[in-house]
Amino acid sequence: MKLVAMVLGLAFAALAVAYFIVPAGSLPSVLPGFEPGSARIHIKHGVISAALAVISFGIAWFGARSSA
């Protein structure tokens, strides 16, 4: 459980960085928020991805504490 939560946390953190840095037109087309030709940055998507990363890391941390 904690390994899965850590992997999800890392994935959401990487996704948050991508949303904050890469314009919507340059995002991969499979990601929500892809808009061809758009130079807009998706701040809300990045904030939600960062929040999910924090929650996933929290689950991993609490899972590591309780199994000791």
Q: Contact at 8 Å (CB) between 32 and 45?
A: yes
Identify which of 9, 16, 6 has the alpha carbon closest to the alpha carbon of residue 49: 16
The dihedrals phi and psi of 22, each to the nearest 5 degrees, come to: -90, 130
Q: What is the pTM of this model?
A: 0.85
Q: Specify the DSSP class assigned to residue 6.
A: H
How confident is the model over 32-50, as pLDDT tens digits?
A: 888 888 888 999 999 999 9
Query: Are 25 and 35 spatial neighbours (Cβ–Cβ below 8 Å)?
Result: yes
- Under the banding of pLDDT at 50, 70 and 90, the label for residue 67 is low
Provide the pLDDT for residue 59. Answer: 93
- Domain locations in the chain? 2-66
